[in-house]
Amino acid sequence: MNAADTALSLLFRKLHPLLEDAAHALASRAPRKELEKLHVKLVKARLVAAEALEKALPEIGDEALAEAVAELADNLQPSGESFQESLILTQLCLEDAPGTFLPFVPSPDEAPWMKRLQAFQVLLQDPAQQAESRWESLDPELGEMGGFDE
């Protein structure tokens, strides 16, 4: 698996399901505690993804791909943002990734993450599902540093 494939796999197999869990929790009016747990899971998953991408950097021969992977790793690195901010930042990474990484994947149609990517792109055709609109109903203070215990 090359670095672009790894990036898309991390985004659509590891992080995308957490966005969907959060959307489901919001739609079902989950209690604050459940949302806080989801925030912790998302932060941990973003950290793992960022570390995996950083680890792959020395092996990337293509300068443009290395730059894109480094930027994605930086964007996924948690920095104490609220749950709402974390969801928006994560979703923006998913929104941008196909245009950035698909050109570097030799056989994207055969990739195990492709169905999720395609479903996500269909979802984005509804403006209400784009990052900021999708998560605007979430309390912006939920999960701020010091706002809950991990």
* Domain-located, residue 43: yes
Boundaries of domain holding 53? 3-134
Q: What is the pLDDT of residues 55-100, one digit of tens each?
A: 999 999 899 999 999 999 999 998 889 999 999 999 999 999 999 9
* Domain-located, residue 140: no
Q: Phi, psi (5° rounding) for residue 136? A: -65, -25
How many domains does the structure of the chain reveal? 1
Residue 15 predicted with pLDDT over 80: yes
Determine the average pLDDT of the residues in 120-136: 89
* Domain-located, residue 35: yes
Check residue 94 and give left, alpha or beta (phi > 0: left; psi -120 to 50: alpha).
alpha
* Domain-located, residue 82: yes
* Domain-located, residue 30: yes
Measured at the CA of 90, the angle between CA 59 and CA 93, to 5 degrees, comes to 55
- pTM (whole model) above 0.85: yes
